[in-house]
Structure 1
Amino acid sequence: MTYLTKLKGSPASIPPRPPFKEISFISLGAFFAACVVGFLAYYTNEPIIMGSFGASIFVLFVLPDSPFAQPRNVIFGHFVTTLIGLIFFHLVSSEWWSMAIALAIAIAAMQILRVPHPPAGSNPFIVFLLGANNDPMIIGSWDFLWMPTLIGSVLIVMVAILYNNLSKNRSYPKYW
C-alpha cells in the first residue's frame, strides 16, 4: 500500500449517531462535571480548572469504556504530563524547543507508565503558555501540579464515577 493510497481512507462508514436519550445523558454528565470544578473554582477562588479538563470530561462521559477514560489514566496522565512540563519549564528552558521535548517525553511517559490519556498531552503546552504569560502558578512555583492538575482531575473522575453509574447501561470504571 502506497503512502497516497493510505490517505484515501478505508471504505468503512462513519459510526451511527447515538440515540437522543444517550446524547442527553452524556451532555448532562459533562455539564455536572464542569459545574463541580467551575463552582469550586469560583467560590473558593482557587484555580481548579485547566483547559485540558474539557477534553477529559468529553472522554469520561462519551467514551467511559475506553482505556483513556479510566481513573488511573485520567489522574496519573494529567499528573505525569504536568510534572514533565514543569520540570522542563523550570529546569531546562522556557523556549519553544523545550516545550516540544517536554511534550514528546510526556507522551512517552504516559505510554511507559500505561496511563495514556490524550487530553493530558496538552498539559506541557498549558504549562509553557501560562509560564510565558508570567502566571504565578507557574513562575517560581510548582503549585500547578497540585491545583488544578491533581485536585481537578480527581474531582472530574469522582463526578464521572457517580454519574455514569446512574445509567443501567453503564458501569464505570472498568478498572482502577
Structure 2
Amino acid sequence: MNVIKKLRGEGSALPPKPSIRNIVLAGIGGFITIAILAGLNASLVATLILGSFGASCVLVFGFPDAPFSQPRNVVAGHFLSSLIGLLCLTLFGAEWWSVSIAVGLAISLMMLTRTVHPPAGSNPVIVFLAQPGWDFLYLPTLSGAVIIILIALVYNNISRKERYPKYW
C-alpha cells in the first residue's frame, strides 16, 4: 500500500515557467546547433548527428546552468556511453540483455566519473540499433558533442548575462 501512496507523488507545484525570452533563445540555440550539425553531415558525407543530440540541445540551451549541461558532462557523457555500447556490442553481440547491460553500465560509469548527461544514456541503444564500427566514437559521437559545446559556448555567452559554463 505504501508504494501506491508514493505513486501519487508529493503534490509539489510545477516548476516556474521560463520567461518567453529564455524559451525563444533556447529554441533558437537548438535550431542553430542541429542546423549546423545536419548541414555538416550533408556536406561532409560523414555522420555528425545522433538522435541524442537533440536532447543535448534541450539541456545546453534550455538549462545551461544545470550540471547535466556542462561541457564535461556533454562530451564525456556521450563518449563514455558510446564506448560502453561499442564494447558490449563487440563482446556480447546484439542481444536484448547485452544492450541492457550497456545502458546500465553507461549510467553507472557516468555517475562514477561525475559526467552524467541524460541524453547520452540513449547512445548504447543507438549503437545496438545501428551496429556501427569503432569510428562511431569519433564520428559522430565525439565530434558532434564538441560541436554542440562550441556552439553553446558562443551562443550562451552572447545571448545571456550569466556565464557558460559553470565549470569544466
Normalization by structure 2: what TM-score? 0.96
1:82 deviation in Å?
Answer: 0.2
Report the equivalent of 1:152: 144
1:174 deviation in Å?
Answer: 0.3
Deviations 1:2-28 (A, max 9, x none): 211111112221123222222111111
- Indicate the structure with greater helix content: 2
1:161 aligned onto 2:153: yes
Report the equivalent of 2:167: 175
Counterparts of 1:126 and 1:114, CA distance in 2: 22
1:77 aligned onto 2:69: no
Of 17-26 and 45-54, the range deviating more from structure 2: 17-26
Report the equivalent of 2:17: 17
Counterparts of 1:97 and 1:85, CA distance in 2: 12
1:49 deviation in Å?
Answer: 0.3
RMSD: 1.2
1:90 deviation in Å?
Answer: 1.2
Paired-residue identity, %: 46
Counterparts of 1:148 and 1:83, CA distance in 2: 12
Letter aligned with residue 136 of structure 2: F
Letter aligned with residue 155 of structure 1: I
1:95 deviation in Å?
Answer: 0.8
Which consecutive unaligned segments of at least 5 residues does structure 2 have?
none
1:168 deviation in Å?
Answer: 3.8
* Structure 2 counterpart SS, 1:166: helix
* Structure 1 counterpart SS, 2:147: helix
Normalization by structure 1: what TM-score? 0.92
1:158 deviation in Å?
Answer: 0.6
1:170 deviation in Å?
Answer: 2.7
1:55 aligned onto 2:55: yes
Letter aligned with residue 139 of structure 2: M
Counterparts of 1:128 and 1:74, CA distance in 2: 21
Letter aligned with residue 134 of structure 2: W
Deviations 1:16-41 (A, max 9, x none): 32222221111111111111111111
* Structure 2 counterpart SS, 1:61: helix
Which consecutive unaligned segments of at least 5 residues does structure 1 have?
132-137
Deviations 1:123-165 (A, max 9, x none): 000000012xxxxxx1xx2010110000000000111110011
* Structure 2 counterpart SS, 1:165: helix
